[in-house]
Structure 1
């Protein structure tokens, strides 16, 4: 069974912000002639790599709510210029929206079992995607989403 990671999406106020940031970074890499792939750098290297890349995802917490996920494609450990071990979490650039799930702030990333992960929203069922992001946030804060 696939294993997931969960992490705070610092600096983004919405899923749309995250998608814009991803598109910007991919375009930068394309213009620079670098491989066009998206990754997130983290200091701690997951020890359960095989489980994570076997269908796992990185779930993003935005404004105290799990709101979306990206499929994990690879985990690449490396040592930075300061001699500190880090890794790139290589991600599918496609962002899948999920049901909202409240989460308190935490540092770094955590493992997330598939049974505890929020379900994908799917296509056209609930109408949540048609709502403005600010309205979705307000409804979530009231516990209505």
Structure 2
């Protein structure tokens, strides 16, 4: 059973914001002749990386609710220019919308067991087309 990571998506107000940011970063890397891959940099390296890579996902908390996920394809520790150890969590560029699951703010990231992770929306096209503000209001009422 896959182990996942839960992380706050700081700076994004909606899944659409995250999708636009990922597309921008991939285009930027393509223009610069760099490998076209997407990653999120953290300070701590997951000690349970073998349980995560391949089947695990990074679940994004946006505006107080888990709303989507990205599959984790690799975990790459490195040392930055200032000599500080960091980690790149390499993510599949596809963003999968999930059922909304309320979460309180926290720092860093947390492990998320598969049985505790929200289900994918699957054929949730109607929900995906709903304006983000309306989705947020419905989630706050516990209706999503």
The normalised TM-score by structure 1 is 0.97
Q: Which residue of 2 aligns with 1:119?
A: 119
Gap regions ≥5 residues in structure 1: none
Query: In 1, Cα distance between the equivalents of 2:65 and 2:124?
Result: 21
**Relative to structure 1, is the Cα distance of residues 103 and 124 closer, same or farther in structure 2, using a 3 angstrom cutoff?**
closer
Across the aligned residues of Structure 1 and Structure 2, the Cα RMSD in angstroms comes to 0.9
Aligned length: 144
- Indicate the residue corresponding to 2:127 in structure 1: 128
Counterparts of 1:35-114 in structure 2, within 5 Å, are: 35-114=35-114
C-alpha separation in 2, matches of 1:93 and 1:110? 21
- Counterpart CA distance in 2 for 1:143 and 1:51 is 32
Return closer, same or farther for 1:110/1:32 CA change in 2, 3 Å cut-off: same
- Gaps of at least 5 residues in structure 2 are none
Structure 1 residues 124 and 106 mapped into 2: Cα distance closer, same or farther (>3 Å)?
closer
Distance 2:28 2:10 in 1: 20
| Contact persistence 2:54–2:74 (CA under 8 A) | no
Give yes or no for contact 2:56–2:72 (8 Å, CA) kept in 1: yes
Q: Deviations over 1:64-119 (max 9, x none)?
A: 00000000000000011111110100000000000000000000000000000000
| Separation in structure 2 between the aligned mates of residue 94 and residue 57 of structure 1, nearest angstrom | 11
Determine the C-alpha separation between the residues in 2 that align with 1:143 and 1:94.
Answer: 27
Specify the SS of the correspondent of 2:89. Answer: strand
